């Protein structure tokens, strides 16, 4: 008789939590930008025509984009400080939660972030959609933490 193995289901993408150091940010409906891209340098070795050597050079990170229903002014006030020339860099994390909705499955930490873009909600009196604002953060690195 075959033995049953432990089943590992994929994580569900709608169970996550975002925290930014020192700010009560509310909930977010969408998070994008968890992306790192490493540039490659080609090196063509003389006499070797079957392939080109590739060497990693610099890794770039994408901006983190947060979308949420409008709840409070905390993020707007942080962005307002940037517009006034007061640069406040904060760290934070994005946690993907287990099926129970409480236990952390994966955690990404970002460092020295500050807002670079704010997009207000689209307002339309003919629709009943939730008013969603978009908030974009530039940062100095993304790390997967155990």
CATH of 16-35+63-145, one of 2.30.110.20, 2.30.42.10, 3.40.50.12280, 3.40.50.300: 2.30.110.20
What is the DSSP secondary structure assignment for residue 130, as one 8-state letter?
A: P
Question: Which residues, in sequence order, are bridge partners of residue 109?
Answer: 93, 143
pLDDT tens, residue order, the chain (146 aa): 556 666 566 666 678 888 899 787 778 889 999 999 999 999 998 888 899 999 999 999 999 999 987 767 888 899 999 999 999 999 999 998 888 878 888 999 999 999 999 998 888 888 787 778 899 999 999 999 97
Residue 15 CA to its chain's centroid (Å): 14
Predicted TM-score (pTM) of this structure? 0.81
Could you tell me if residue 26 is left (phi over 0), alpha (psi between -120 and 50 degrees) or otherwise beta?
left
């Amino acid at each position: 008789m075959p033995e049953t193995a432990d089943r590992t289901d994929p994580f569900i993408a709608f169970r996550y939590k975002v925290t930014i150091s020192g700010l009560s940010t509310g909930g977010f409906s969408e998070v994008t930008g968890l992306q790192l891209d490493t540039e490659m340098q080609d090196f063509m070795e003389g006499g070797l025509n079957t392939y080109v050597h590739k060497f990693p050079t610099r890794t770039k990170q994408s901006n983190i984009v947060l979308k949420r229903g409008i709840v409070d002014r905390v993020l707007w006030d942080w962005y307002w400080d940037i517009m006034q020339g007061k640069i406040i860099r904060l760290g934070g994390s994005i946690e993907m939660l287990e099926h129970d909705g409480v236990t952390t499955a994966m955690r990404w930490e970002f460092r020295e972030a500050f807002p670079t873009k704010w997009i207000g909600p689209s307002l339309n009196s003919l629709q009943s959609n939730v008013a969603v604002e978009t908030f974009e953060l530039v940062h100095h690195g993304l790390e997967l933490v155990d």
